[in-house]
Amino acid sequence: MNVFFPGRVRHLGALACLAWAMPSLAADALSEITVTAARQAQPRQAALADVTIIDRAELDRAGQDALPQLLARERGVEVAGNGGIHNSTSVFIRGANSNQTLVLVDGQRLGSATTGGAALDAVPLAAIERVEILRGPASSLYGADAIGGVINIITRQGEDGPAKLRASIGAGSDETVRTQAAVSGGGDGWRYAVSGGYGQSAGFSAIANTGSSQYNPDRDGYAERNVSAQLSRQWQPGHSLDARYLYSRVNSEYDGSKTGYDRTRQIVSALSLASNNQLTSWWHSRLRLGETLDDSTTYSQYPSQIRTRQRQYSWQNDFTLAASQRLSLALERLEERVSSSGFAGKAPEGRNTNSATLVYAGQFGDHHVQANLRQDDNSAYGDKTTGGLSYGYDLSRQWRATVSGSTGFRAPTFNELYYPGYGQTQIRPETSRNLEASLRYQDGGSQAGLTVYRNRVHDLIVTQRPCSVKGYLSCANNVNRAVLEGVSLSLGHSWDSTRVRADLDWQNPHDADTGKRLARRASRLAKFSVNQDWAGWDLGAEWQLSNRRYDNVANTNPLGGYGLVNLTASRALSRDWQVQARWNNVGNKHYEQAKDYGVSGSTLFVNLVYQP
C-alpha cells in the first residue's frame, strides 16, 4: 500500500495535461456561496483561495460518522483518532498540526485555549447546514491559529414558508442508535429553525494492543445529546437581527488503565446575536456579539477539568467601491477565560485580543486581486501583524491561474505558557510564511484543480527534553522549524445521473532541521468517490488511501498504509419517507491511525427519515 502513486513529485507536466484533458465543477457549484475566503459572501468560483464546501446532501450521507470522519474524505485533510469517533482526535490540513487549524462556528472561534485543539467530534452533523474548508494560512483574515487553514461550520437556519418537519431514527453496528427531530419555517419577516437529537453506541475497545499498559478489554462507548436553534427577524428591507444557539454534550469512554472506568464529558456551545444593516446602497454593516464554550471533564484515576469560554465582539463594514471592487473593515475583541484543575491558581484567568482587519477584493477584466491585512494586540504575547496577497488571471472562460503569498501565526496555549513545571511565559507565537500557485478549470459539470504550496513555520513550540530551564524535566519551547509543502490535484465530473471525484495529495510535512516527517502524517493520499442515480436509488462509493506514517517525531514507530472502501445508498420510500444507509470499511480493514489504538471495523448504519 506504500506505492499507490510515485514517491516524488516528478510529473507536474503530466498532471497539468491530465487536468487539461478533463471534460471539465458540477453545474450546481456555480451557485455555491462561500463566506470564509474573504469574510463576506462570494460565489465559490470567484474565490482566489483554496476552499471546499461540504453541502447538506453530503452531510446527510455521513450516517453514523462524526464531523472529523467527514472531513477526512476531503482533499488535503487527514484524521488521527485515539479510538472511537468521540475519543481524542487530531485533524491535519496540509500537514499542519491540529492546533494550527482554526475552527469557527458561524464565524465565531471554538476551541480550548489550554490544549489548543477544538472538539470537532462534539459538533452534531444534524445542526450543520454546510462546512467550509479554507486551506493555507488565514491569520490575515481571522487572527491566531490559522496556519494550516480554517474550518468554518455554518449552522442551519429557517426559510420562508410554512413549518417544515424533519425527523429521523437510525440504528447500526456496535449497538448504535441515533434520533433527531427538527422544525423550521418563516413568514412576515421571521425565520426560525429548532432541532434536537440523541445518540449512543456501545463502541469497541479504544486500545487494541493487548500488550499496552493501558489496555482494557471492555467496550468504550458514548452517549450524546444536542440542541440547536436559530431565530431571525427582518424588520425592514436590508435590516435584520439574527440569534443562534448550539449546545452539545458527549459522554465518551476510553482506555486509561487496565481495570478502571475512564470517561470524558465534553460540552461545546455557541451563542450569538447579530445585527445586519444595509445602511446605504454601498455600505453594509454587521454587528455581532457572542460566546463559545469548550468544557472537558475527565473521570479517571487522574481526574481533570479544563474549560475555555470565549466572548467575541465584532463590527464589520463592507463597502462596495465599484461594481467589481469591495473593501471590508472589521474591528474585533476576543476575551478568553480559562479554568483548569492543573493550574492550581498559578496562571491568569484569561487574556484579551483587540484586532483590526482590512480586506480588499477587486476584478479588472481578466485580472483578480485580493489583499488582506490584520493587526492583533494580545494582552499575553503582544502584537502580531499578518498579511496576504492573491492574484488570479483568467486564461480563458474555463481556466484561471492564481498565485498567492500569506503569513500566519499560532498563539501559545495556556499550557505552554503557564502549566506548572512545563510552561514558560517567554514563549513566542509560532509564525509561518506560505507561497502557493494553482491552476483551475471549470466548465459545466466538470472541474479540475492543481495547487502547489510551500509553508515555512518558525518558532515551532514543542516539548523540549531535557529542558533548558533549571529544575524542569521537560518544557514547552520555541526550538523547532517545520516545512509544509506539497502538490494537490482534484478532478471531478458530473453527467446525467453520475458524479465522480478524485483527489490526490503529495505532501512532505517535515522538521526543517532533521528532515523527519511530522508525526501521524502521510506523504501520499488519494480519495475517490462516485455517486450514481439508479432506479430511484442514490448509490455512492468512496475509496480512501493513505501510505505509511510514523507515530513519533523520530520516525521510528511506523504506522502501515491502508485503503478503505465505504458504500452509501438512499431511496425515497414515499413522498414523506426516505431510507439512508452507510456501510463503512466494507473490507473490515485493520489499521492504525495512532499507535496501539483501535479503529472501527466494518460497520453498517441505516437511517429512516420522515420529512412531509
| Span 431-478, pLDDT tens digits | 999 999 999 999 988 999 999 999 999 999 999 888 877 677 889 999
Residues of the chain with pLDDT under 70: 1-31, 470
Q: Give whole-number Cα distances, 293 to 125, 248, 341, in Å.
A: 18, 10, 17
User: Which residue type, as a one-letter code, is found at position 71?
Assistant: L
Q: Are 416 and 423 in contact (CB under 8 A)?
A: yes
Q: Are 514 and 544 in contact (CB under 8 A)?
A: no
- What Rg, from alpha-carbon coordinates, does the chain have? 24
- Helix (H/G/I), strand (E/B), else coil: 398: coil
How would you write 227-268 as a 3-class SS string?
Answer: EEEEEEEEEECCEEEEEEEEEEEEEEEECCCCCCCEEEEEEE
Using CA atoms in the order 263, 267, 268, 274, what is the torsion angle rounded to 10 degrees?
A: 180
Give me the pLDDT at residue 9, please: 38
Quote the cell numbers at residue 166: 424533519
Quote the cell numbers at residue 281: 446602497
β-bridge pairing 101-105 and 149-155? parallel
Give me the pLDDT at residue 470, please: 67
In 3D space, the residue among 128, 20, 150 whose CA is nearest the CA of residue 76 turns out to be: 150
Please give the Cα distance from 248 to 320 (Å, whole number). 39
Give me the pLDDT at residue 235, please: 93
- Each residue of 150-169: pLDDT tens digit? 999 999 999 999 999 999 99
Which residues have CB under 8 Å from 307's CB, separation 6+? 293, 294, 295, 296, 338, 339, 340
Give me the pLDDT at residue 64, please: 76
Please give the Cα distance from 131 to 56 (Å, whole number). 9
Quote the cell numbers at residue 562: 491502508
Which residues have CB under 8 Å from 264's CB, separation 6+? 251, 252, 254, 296, 297, 298, 299
